[in-house]
Chains A and B, each alone.
Chain A
Amino acid sequence: GAGVSQSPRYKVAKRGQDVALRCDPISGHVSLFWYQQALGQGPEFLTYFQNEAQLDKSGLPSDRFFAERPEGSVSTLKIQRTQQEDSAVYLCASSLGIGQGFFFGQGTRLTVV
């Protein structure tokens, strides 16, 4: 597609449930980022991939959060045993490389009940 695509757009999970959020970046984009935006906050960095290598995962809030990009294109952010504080919009962004423009998806709004 022409832009970054994220799915699902909305997800309601019961507390304790595992969820998987998908990101399809722009074809050929080397860099891929995940951000988390809680209500009333700006987007917060979670993790960064360069091709299939996860070069920075310093923003992942706990070991319940796991991200992968096995073939250097599609990425999945997995959250295990979801908690209410995980409720947020999860944004994915891709770029051609360091110093290039970032292109964002529409985000996945996760609500944990």
Chain B
Amino acid sequence: ILNVEQSPQSLHVQEGDSTNFTCSFPSSNFYALHWYRWETAKSPEALFVMTLNGDEKKKGRISATLNTKEGYSYLYIKGSQPEDSATYLCASRGGGSNYKLTFGKGTLLTVNP
């Protein structure tokens, strides 16, 4: 069984604050780690796909790192804006299945103006 855990479950920050979330996943038979941003009433939007240990990716004010040996990934948001408010989901591909994603429960971020 592949368990993906995310923390915290929810987070409230002020506009301009920087923040980060954690995703942990089983490190054995790992293929890839996906991060999604999901706003209410919209489709989950792909942020990053990472495969290699030590990967670091950046998209605007959002960045992510990957440690496949210890099974964790961090997502960072620099200078949070109200439009960053969303649920951030991570999902792992691995554990003997290279085609399906196993999701965590997500981190709900609320950025107050």
CB–CB B44/A41 < 8 A = no
Tell me which of A4, A56, A99 contacts B43 (CB under 8 A).
A4
Stretch at the interface among B52-60, B74-82, B94-102: B94-102
A33 nearest in chain B by CB position? B100
- Give B51 Cβ to nearest chain A Cβ, in Å: 9
| Given A3-B43, A91-B44, A106-B42, residue A99 in contact with residue B98 (CB < 8 A) | yes
Interface residues on A, range: 20 to 34
A98 nearest in chain B by CB position? B99
* B contact residues, total (Cβ < 8 Å): 24
Main SS of the interface on chain B?
strand
In the bound complex, how far is the Cα of B106 from the Cα of A48, in angstroms? 22
- Give A42 Cβ to nearest chain B Cβ, in Å: 4
CB–CB B34/A40 < 8 A = no
Question: Residues of B contacting A107 with CB < 8 Å?
Answer: 43
Question: Residues of B contacting A35 with CB < 8 Å?
Answer: 103
CB–CB A45/B43 < 8 A = no
Q: Which of A10-25 contact B (CB under 8 A)?
A: none
CB–CB B106/A42 < 8 A = yes
**A residues at B contact (CB < 8 Å):** 3-4, 31, 33, 35, 40-45, 48, 56, 91, 98-99, 101-107
A-B residue pairs, 10 tightest by C-beta: A42-B103, A42-B105, A104-B44, A104-B43, A43-B103, A98-B99, A106-B43, A45-B100, A42-B104, A101-B46
